[in-house]
Structure 1
């Protein structure tokens, strides 16, 4: 209605929205044709997004002196956050904090100040760079960065030997979310098929019968040889059925399995690639070289 009355586009209007978190009140500015993302604002404030709400009419009136629709940033005494898009606008229209009144030719940093951030909900109908439609995909945020506490100062010597303050950022990683992402991404009908770089072990040695002296001796010998070659190896010496052991390590996503079994007396073991399901038999003396390559 305002755009039609002034004969302008919604893109020339900056909406001022009032939000509350517990007993705190904030103002957020977005372009007239955009929607505010409470999640983005909560991220800027580093608060729980579930507790950040749009203020009710009574709170808006008490805070600004006007009802929703006539609120603007000029003269507000609460923290103000402005979307990057609005910060670049010139001579835009805002509410005047008086019912049914608005200000023309308002400019950021001239008429009011605010913290610049990304606040708008993303519009899938148009890419801001190429104007083509966008396709939504599902993502999971498992890490975030934030500036280090300035009290934790880190200095370095520059080329002139002078102390300089280093710019530092902290990365916080949610390991439970990361494990969930990996499980969902690399799950197969048999278990997990994780990239080798993040698997807990590269090789597992499974003696078919741990009570068999020759199998047990060979399994421990191979284990020590692989460890000495800096190969991450696990030895399963449990008194369990072979099939149960095999299934456990398919689920654990260990890339290779060495089976020490009935051909031990012939000097042979079976190596299975758990990802490609390829199985080969190798002489015992060639096992370490096989994994070294």
Structure 2
């Protein structure tokens, strides 16, 4: 979130704080004796999101818990990382969330090993690939594809150029030529660090740009514009192919392409495609790599089961940063021998606001929120049904004071509203237990309702604390 002050100087509101915390540690920690160290904070972060959505689920201003570990060795970082991984697992488990810790891409923050904590939800922005028979789970951005393709024994046919008017997409091409998508080659031209790279995948697969960047060791991977494609290959997008292309264009292909026979690809000419195209004979590939998105039904990369998809909300993320920030900012310490060494870092974050939103997404019904007891804003919802009734009014106030003394957090509804309004609001707010002080107040009996199950019981006030302690 960028802004300028009155003197037109550039400022930015904190989106994350690796640099700030590293600078603080650099200036204060000089000896190995002060390490390892893990610093955390809970505060507001600001990000200029392009598409804020779903209230606090993705917003430009949000509360985040971020932490940063500093170690003297890779083994130390591994332990710090595992400790935080375990802590986050415990936190989200206590929040009663259905979540997965999935392998992920480190993105702009950098680093090596990284896991996202994803809450399963249909409104999630990220797709999780998980095994139906094991604990494997990964963001589809980085989930590896491990398929044992087989060479076809089909005889090689003669290369032929055919007319394919108005067939810019795989769907149009397969309909026109009456072939399956897996019999075609999809060719996409990328500009990778200002150099043209042609990426080939099977027609029924999708190019994964993150994998392309990782394979080439590059970060700037952008799909070529129509103008760039016309300048480099002399044709419109939709008719691009790997046959007879300029030497200046690097060609890389997904592993599946190597096993294709007599396939179809663009002819780098409008309304023209080649049929009976064969890798190796008709075009050269500099390297075959895993370049596509994993698909449902693919074998799980760990060899157990098949891949299924689920949508997820990212609520936590842990990174092994290594020396990316400490080296750049000069965060050094003196080791046992008095020599300068670079600190080894990890960073860890929980989206507090987003976690609350994710809890609500998973814990709700047609009447409102159903808070898990561990994170409910109050333990109990105490409702006096008729405040004009003296017995009800007095018992309600007595119970409010008594329950507070017993260390319960109590929300007390003593509004002069109808019972139906109060009960509707109580279900909407969704506190774990509702205590209704009603017609039997004079007898010292109240109605206790569990919000999650709808179970209701009448309890004498002398047994109320014992009953509530058991229920909660």
Instruction: Name the residue aligned to 1:11.
Output: none
How far apart in 1 are the matches of 2:316 and 2:210?
Answer: 14
Query: How many pairs are equivalent?
Result: 256
Asked if the contact 1:142/1:175 (under 8 Å) is kept, the reply is: no
Instruction: Tell me the secondary structure at the aligned position of residue 311 of structure 2.
Output: coil
Larger relative contact order (Cα-Cα within 8 Å, sequence gap ≥ 6): 2
The alignment status of 1:267 with 2:444, answered yes or no, reads yes
Instruction: Tell me the secondary structure at the aligned position of residue 245 of structure 1.
Output: helix
In the alignment, structure 1 segments of 5+ residues that lack a partner are 8-13, 90-98, 109-115
How far apart in 2 are the matches of 1:122 and 1:205?
Answer: 51
Aligned residue runs from structure 1 range 248-263, under 5 A: 248-263=425-440
Asked if the contact 2:447/2:458 (under 8 Å) is kept, the reply is: yes
Asked if the contact 1:203/1:256 (under 8 Å) is kept, the reply is: yes
Instruction: Tell me the secondary structure at the aligned position of residue 139 of structure 1.
Output: strand
TM-score by length of 2: 0.41
Asked if the contact 1:273/1:279 (under 8 Å) is kept, the reply is: yes
Instruction: Name the residue aligned to 1:120.
Output: 292
1:169 alignment partner, one of 311, 334, 347: 347
How far apart in 1 are the matches of 2:432 and 2:418?
Answer: 20
Asked if the contact 1:153/1:166 (under 8 Å) is kept, the reply is: no
TM-score by length of 1: 0.60
How far apart in 2 are the matches of 1:259 and 1:160?
Answer: 70
In the alignment, structure 2 segments of 5+ residues that lack a partner are 1-155, 160-184, 259-267, 269-280
The alignment status of 1:227 with 2:431, answered yes or no, reads no
The alignment status of 1:150 with 2:325, answered yes or no, reads yes
Q: 1:164 to 1:262 in 2, by over 3 A?
A: farther
When structure 1 is superposed on structure 2, of 151-160 and 240-249 the one drifting more is 151-160
What is the CA-CA distance between 1:214 and the residue it aligns to? 4.1
Larger Rg: 1
**1:196-222 CA-partner distances (Å, limit 9, x unpaired):** 323322210001122444433332332
RMSD: 5.4
Instruction: Name the residue aligned to 2:228.
Output: 59
Asked if the contact 1:20/1:54 (under 8 Å) is kept, the reply is: yes
Instruction: Name the residue aligned to 1:287.
Output: 464
Instruction: Tell me the secondary structure at the aligned position of residue 312 of structure 2.
Output: coil
Instruction: Name the residue aligned to 1:244.
Output: 421
How far apart in 2 are the matches of 1:156 and 1:288?
Answer: 55
